Each structure stands twice: as C-alpha cells, then as structure tokens.
Chains A and B, each alone.
Chain A
Amino acid sequence: MSTTENTESRERGKAPAGERVADWADGRLGIYSLAKSNMRKIFPDHWSFMLGEVCMYSFIIIILTGVYLTLFFHPSMNEVVYHGSYVPLQGQMMSEAFNSTLHISFDVRGGLLIRQIHHWAALIFLAGMFVHMMRVFFTGAFRKPREINWLFGFLLFVLGMFTGFTGYSLPDDLLSGTGVRFTEGAILSMPIVGTYISFFLFGGQFPGHDFVARFYSIHILLLPGIMLGLMVGHLILVFYHKHTQFAGPGKSEKNVVGMPLLPVYMAKAGGFFFLVFGVIAAIAATTQINPIWAMGPYRPDQVSTGAQPDWYMGFAEGLIRYMPGWEINFWGHTLVLGVFIPLVLFGLVLGAIALYPFIESWVTGDKSEHHILDRPRNAPTRTGFGVAWVTVYMIGLIGGGNDLIATHFHLSINDVTWFVRIFFFAGPVIAFIATKRICLGLQRRDRDKVLHGRETGIIKRLPHGEFIEVHEPLSQEQLHTLTAHHQYEPAQVGPAVDENGVERKIKGSEKLRAKLSGAYYGEDNQIPKPTVEEYKEITSGHGHH
C-alpha cells in the first residue's frame, strides 16, 4: 500500500480519474503490490497448456446457464398432468420436475438453447478435464511441487462426474430415472450399509418423493460450491508454482519462458473464453442433446433399450454390463457381486490414477522440484502405465455402449461383451508393453538423431561407387531439446551391513522399491542418452556414417 501523501502531484493539479480510483482502491485493498507481483507473471505458449482453460471456461458457461435454468425449474416430484405445447405428451401424468423441464424446453424464451448449452458444456467440461489430466500425467507435470494440485484437479474431475450425474437426473425423465435406479442398485449392493444408505438417500423406497429435491441442492449448491473452491485453489497453486514448460534452449528449472499475463495473456485468455463459448453455443444451437420429451416421464415400470449415462459415467456402466452376474448367499444374506465388484473397481480405477504421483515419487525416490516437463517417451514406464489406464477406461466405455456397437457394426452383443471381458485384463498389459517398446524406440531414434544427424533423404554416390545417405547435423537448439532430460540411476537396496559392520535387516518394502525402480530406470528400461564424449568422438572428423 502506498500510504505516503503525494504532495507534488497535488500542486500540479488533480490526477486523472482512473488513477484516483486506483489510488482509492489501493489504499483499501493493496492492489498495487498485488498487481506488481502478478501482472507480469509469465505463461509459456503451448496449445496443450490451454486445455485447462477450456475446462475453466466451460465451467463458467455451465454456471451462467445453470443459473438461468434454476429460474424456471421446479425441483418437485408432485404429480401433475401435462398441458403444455408438446402434443405427444399432453394429458400424461408426470412429476413437476419433468413438467417444468418441458416448460423450459418449449415455452420459455431461449430455454431449450440454454438447456442445450448447459448440457453440451457439461460434456465438454468433463472431456476437457480428462484430456487436461492426461496432458499433465504424460508430461510428468504432477511431480513435486505440484502433487497437491494434481489431487485438486482429480477431485474436480470426480466431483464433475457426480455433479453431471445429479444434474441430468433432475428432469426425472425415463432415461435418467433408469440411471438413478442403476445407482440405487449399486448402493444396495454394498454389504450391510447398502440398504440403509439407499433408504436415507431416497427417503424410503425408491423412487419416493424426495430425490429430485435432494439432487437439486446437491447439484446446484453443494457440489458446484466445492468445485468452485477447488478451482480457485487450483488456479492459485498454478500461480504460486508458476507454469511448467517443455525443455528447450534458454528454459531451465529456474525460469519460465513465455509471455506476461498482462497484456498478452489477458487478451489471449479473454479471447479464448469467447471462442470456447462460441463453439459450445454453435453446437448447442444446431445439435440436440438429451431430448427428454422423446424419452417421456419416469415410471419405474417402464424402461428403454439404449439407456446409457452421459459419457463420463459410461465406464461405470461398462463395468456393470460386462461383469458376470455373480451372487453368493451368505448366512441368508445375498451378496450381489455382479454389482458390488464393479462398484469397487470404479473406485480402484479412479484411485489408481489419483495416487500414481505418490507411487512414482516413492519408487524413484525423486525428491527434487520439476518445472521442465518430460517428453512422454523419456518416461517409458509412466507413459506405459498411463496408456494402460486409458485402455482400461476405454474398454469400460466400449462395454457401456456394447448394444450400440453391436447394432451399428453388425456384431453380436455377446461377442462384444466377451471381447471387453478379455481385454479388461489383456488390454492394459498389451498397451503397457507396446507403449513402452514404442517409447524406447523413440528414445533410440532421438539418440541416433543427436549422434548422426537428421536423415535428409539425399543419396550421394562416393567416387569409389558407394552410396551413402547424407545426414544433416542437428542445430544446437535441437540438440539441447533432445538431450535436456535427466536420466536417473535405479535405486539400489542399501548395503547389507550398517556402518558398524553389523548385518542389517533389509525390509521387504526396500527390496520392492529397488525392483520397481529398476523397472523405471534399469538397463532395458531407458536408452542412455548420448554423452558429450560420444558426441565429440562421432562428430570429430570420422566422417558420416
């Protein structure tokens, strides 16, 4: 805060109005020092660093359109007879929630467009978070000091899933009602507590008269409130840690090379917001989503084929669809493994990616800070794990859409289900091995490029008749980029005797860690990058290879 009186400027007359307003605000909020430290914050340029922005902007769009929808939506399950303008439902009994959603869609000005923007933005928000999370994962941006921010992001993704679920359940249509029934089944499959939780959630027997009102406050208040807080925390941490960057000349662990927040990024980000809004609005204006009028009001005695959740819950749907319908009877209590195992797997699959950063840092023992991103090929084990995880996720999505895959590719749904069952186990293993081989191959190629230069495609005939391809040496910048990454040594099990020569007990966890570390950095698991000596030896006049 600048509290000193500026007497000199007084004498020269009044300062401009803008400056006086700023002065007034600074005297109370201290904005000058805040601006000084943040206005010139540097952000590096890369398209993949804008994925998080896509998420933030679609979240803002969701909040804005959601507020509009709350003005007209009635979160009530009281039954009414429909007398609105959609003819094929006139005279039908339905809940007020469904009735008011029809009202929004057909009778509120701009209602259907806003509904569709809200829903499309939700799908894109979740897809954006997924891709953003994978970008962070594959470039190793989750490493120290950003582990907490990784967890914030992960929580945003999971809460986004449930906010989406509670949101699309609100209209109380036949499709979402089936989804809520699905959820009730999953809750009931929990041993001992399942029944109690279900009765608590639905206020008695499903569907009851409460869940729309309850989902409504969860959807518009509880979850988005937590998400907003997490998002602000996420952004503060991005500011605090500063943004990561890819390796390159002039870029180090101690600097950030890019453009300042003001004015460049403010303009870019502001413009990008409108581009995101524009793309989503264009889609919403031309493409129908969740036509609840076609699905009809929910009745527990009706069901339709092709009842799937929105894509982000699709892998949970898949887990249930391809799980065999096992159940065991246990002292007069039925344990529905066919539903309970998928429920557990749902948590495990999500938990695996959330906890990965901590597992990696334990295995590698790497405690240093990282601000330079990894190229995915330079971390083959991590990249392999990530691709294996995405494979499990995608297999789940295929399983969730098994009926549509069967009808559209003229396959048998039974074959699709069996394919998915087998590849739930085999897929990640194959993906891990294949990805790792590809990464190592790419590392070898980088090594070749550094040592022997770029293949130009020019064939030269030597005087004695031999044909050679001319290799062009890489520029200094390229050489730096290809060799900037640090290569670790695998962790060893400590000495068998301590400093006094007494035999030491080696813990099992220590052995496991050494073994896993070997899988990361062992001989066959990374290609040694060329050393300066190698480079000099090859380029010091022995001619081309």
Chain B
Amino acid sequence: MSARSERVLNHAILGVFAVIAVFPMIGVVAQALKLPGQVDFSTFGTAWREGHFGTYLRNSVIVTGVTVVLATVLSIMAGYALGTMRFRGAQALFLLFLAGLTIPTETVVVPLYFDLRSVGLDNTYAGLIMPQVAMSVAFGTFWMRAYFRSVPPSLLEAARIDGASSWTTLWRVLVPVGRPAILTMIVLTTMWTWNEFLLPLVIISSDEGLRTAPLGLSFFQGAHKTDYSLLMAGALIIAAPIVIVYVFLQRQFIAGMLSGAIKE
C-alpha cells in the first residue's frame, strides 16, 4: 500500500467514526426541526413552554454557578497548601482527598437524602449545591495541588523575599500564572455539575420549581413518551449550553479529562 493511499484510508476511517460519533445528534437536530421537509422551529417553542425549560435552565445556571465558584476557591486554597507547604498531616490530607475521586454518587446519594431531609435541606438549592461542591473539591484539590507543585520554587522564593504573605503570593502571583490550569478545572466542574442527574432526582423530590435541566428532561420524557420531535427539542435545549462551551474550549475539556486522569 502506498503512503498516499494509506493516508487516504486512515482519514476515511477517522471520518467514519466521526460520523458515528455525531450521527445520533444529527438525528436529534433533524427530528427536532422535523427534517426532511419544511424547517420547523415551532417544536422548540412548544418544548420550551410545556417543559418549563426556562425555569429549569435558570436553576441549573444558579446551581452550577454557585457550585463552581465555591469549589474553585476552596480547591485553589487547599491545593496551594498541599502543593507548596510542608506541615504535619499534609500527606494524609492529600490521600483523603484522593480517595474522594473514586466515590460514586450512587454510594452517597441515599444517606445524603435522609440526612439532608432531617435538617430541612431537601428541596433546596443548598442541598443540591453543597454535595456537588464536596465532589468537585476532591478533584479540584488534587488538580490544583499538581499545578502548585509544578510552580518553580524560585517564584515562591522571590515573592517571599519581596515580603509578600502567603495569601498575597497565592492570589497576586500564583493564580494569575495558573490561569490555564484553573480554567481547565472550572470547565470540568461546570460540565459535571450541569450534567448531574441522580443527585437532583433524589434531593429535589417534590418542589417542581427547583428542578435542574437534566431532571426537567426526565419528567418531560415521562409526559411525552413517544413524541420524539418534542423530546429531541428538549434534549437539545438542555445539552446545548455545555456543547457550546465545549466547542469554544475543547482544548481545556480534552486536556483536562485526559491529563487530569493521567497525572498521578
């Protein structure tokens, strides 16, 4: 086989798998627009109204936004200490956070439900946000520690000689330099939080007004079992925000999901 034909074949193979990867999604778009035939956007309007997706997207934005901000700040601080400071118990703390990376939501969701209910946090934003901050912090601390360990010690030394406190060094020197690593972490926690389904399903057991977008889709599906064009429009509405972010920041998404796991 000549190099040229081999190259053509290779690109054809990749092309076939690229088509397989997007095929169900193209089908979704076609169904929602009622293709082939007249392009019809009215399905989106119907889905938007009947599925209350405006409310559910707003809830998802609130839950995701607060979760990511809290998790990012806490992870940066914890990762900073574990990555640059020596103190008693640091190694044990790191292993403790590391262990959290493998705890499935399925394991903690049942006790979370009963314990949050007994303190009145079921069917609240806080009951959705705090467990997801905890899950994100396990990854975030691990991720930020790896970044802070890679910072040249000379940079820390220079800041210290200049008389900067550890707090100033972190926020004025290290965080600006570490923007790429932080952005990757933010992108991943945003995706995980937005897409989370089991936790809202259990925690938001009765208050319809607090449903997140994925939870909204599951109830929408229950109401429109076989109206595929309507269901597809709903699926597109809830998936679109993350897909749009992904298209712009795909480098961060992929780098994070691949190297984040590869790191240790």
**Do A and B interact?**
no
> CB within 8 Å of B: which residues of A?
none
